[in-house]
Amino acid sequence: MAEEYAVPKLENFLAEALSESANGLRAALNREVSRLALGAFQAAKCKAPFEIEVKAFRDRWLGRKTGIVTQINEVWLRAAPDEHKKAVGQIVNELRAEIQREVNEAVDEARAASLLTPSELREVGADFRQFFLESQRLDITLPGIRRPIGAEHPVIRALNEIVAVFKAMGYSVSEGPEIETDYYNFVALNFPPNHPARDTQDTLFIAGQQSKPPRDRLLLRTHTSPVQIRTMEKLAPPIRVVIPGKVHRNDAPDASHSPMFHQVEGLAVDTNITFCDLKGTLDHAMKALFGSSVRTRFQPSFFPFTEPSAEVAISCIFCGGKGCRTCKQGGWIELLGCGMVDPNVFEFVRNNGYDPAKVSGFAFGMGADRIALLKYGVDDIQLFFQGDVRFLEQFA
Ligand code: DAH
């Protein structure tokens, strides 16, 4: 739909600008006369009253207070400096006469058309169709409206890059819900009820759940690990899967923390999966993400759902491991947690083919926002979530 015409201010009062503006107004009048006529024929066809539309059209152009004729008097003639008044006055007079003649004609014709009987309508049918086609005319040579296409968000880009590295090794991709039950977020991952390891997760609970059994209570997932269980419930071994997603914790925002952030989880289960497979896989993934000169370091750690567990660091990508401000002089940057899937976890999905005596597996979880900060050289995680176009545009 064309935009509603409004009388524009004149850029200057020279002949060229004047006639351009006058032509713009004439084109608008033409369009609106066609629209009125079309409406009149349609009203006749369905025997609807049309007088209100006719009056509105007349007022829009000739209304004494705010009609377009009054407006061009104000905006064009009255605003003209003295030396241009005469020329502007002449054009405004011509336009006024034209508008009065055409609007009055259009009003008479529309009233008559809106009252045509079905047989009269049939007689003018051919004209009407022609008229209708004319009114739908579209100039395809006019330049289109260009909309900005936006840019991939840096965190999404990091998620995609991480997922791509694992896809290339044959992993599939899975997702799970952000609102999760206590069972999937904790119980099935070997966090027993009231176990202190739960405290490390700063969980945001959903209110009003006291009447439910503890394991069914809802919370915002604190990690993507619950999707390990959901995936093993659906798919029997062997599996290789990565799980990107959003997670939430009750953390105060600062340059390196956000109460909402992103992780990529990984899980591989088969017969005879060993810690060597885990080391080789993650060493390769870190080299693919940060460059082939990056080294990895595995240190013992603890997670309830892996045994043994490890914390993985990469050699600092800024100083090559010599020590700098980013790695706090240590030469290493801690990046993810991992380990061999704890047999207790397999017990929760044993019936789907995960007998802990027969299968083994490894799992890992990494923060995607942190990886995006490092890869793209951003020094404040808050920049990712403030929606400032000047920041995001740099990733276009
Ligand atoms: N879920 C852990 C966290 O958010 C990260 C993690 C550690 C995931 C070890 C794993 C793993 O799959 O094996 O702190």
Could you report the per-residue pLDDT of 341-390, keeping only the tens digit for each? 999 999 999 999 999 999 999 999 999 999 999 999 999 999 999 999 99
| pLDDT score of 201 | 83
Between the CA of 57 and the centroid of ligand 1 the distance, in Å, is: 68
Contact between 264 and 246 under an 8 Å Cβ cutoff? The reply is no
Distance (Å) from CA 172 to ligand 1 centroid: 19
Taking the C-alpha atoms of residue 246 and residue 176, their distance in angstroms, rounded to an integer, is 10
Pocket-testing residue among 243, 305, 369, 371, ligand 1, by greatest number of atoms within 8 A of Cβ: 305
Q: What is the pLDDT of residue 194?
A: 85
Residues of the chain with pLDDT under 70: 1-3
Q: Is the CB of 245 under 6 A from ligand 1?
A: no
Q: Tokens in use for 137?
A: 């005319």
Q: Is the CB of 261 under 6 A from ligand 1?
A: no
Of the candidates 25, 143, 13, the one whose C-alpha atom is nearest the C-alpha of residue 84 is 13
| Cα separation, 240 vs 390, whole angstroms | 39
DSSP 204: E
How far is it, in rounded angstroms, from Cα 80 to Cα 87?
Answer: 10
Q: What is the pLDDT of residue 365?
A: 98
**pLDDT for the residue numbered 1:** 45
pLDDT at site 2: 52
Taking the CA of residue 245 as centre, how many other CA atoms within 13 Å lie in the half-sphere pointing to its CB?
24
pLDDT score for 129: 76
Would the CB of 264 count as within 6 Å of ligand 1?
no
Q: Please report the atom of ligand 1 found closest to the CA of residue 224.
A: 1
395 Cβ neighbours under 8 A, 6+ residues apart: 151, 152, 153, 154, 157, 376
Residue ranges of E strands in the chain: 172-173, 179-181, 204-205, 218-220, 239-248, 260-270, 296-303, 306-315, 332-341, 360-367
> In the Cβ-directed half-sphere of 246, how many Cα atoms lie within 13 Å?
10
Compute the distance from residue 337 Cα to the ligand 1 centre, in Å. Answer: 5
pTM of the model: 0.69
- Check pocket membership of 226 for ligand 1, CB cut-off 6 A: no
State which amino acid sits at residue 12.
Answer: N
Overall residue count recorded for the chain in this entry = 396
Peptide bond into 154 cis (omega under 30): no
Going from the Cα of 364 to the center of ligand 1, the distance in angstroms, rounded, reads: 6
Pairing of strands 360-367, 260-270: antiparallel
DSSP letter string, 134-148: HHT---TTS--PPPP
Place of tokens 């990508």: 317
User: Is 341 a pocket residue for ligand 1 (Cβ < 6 Å)?
Assistant: no
Of the CA atoms within 13 Å of residue 233, those in its CB half-sphere come to: 9
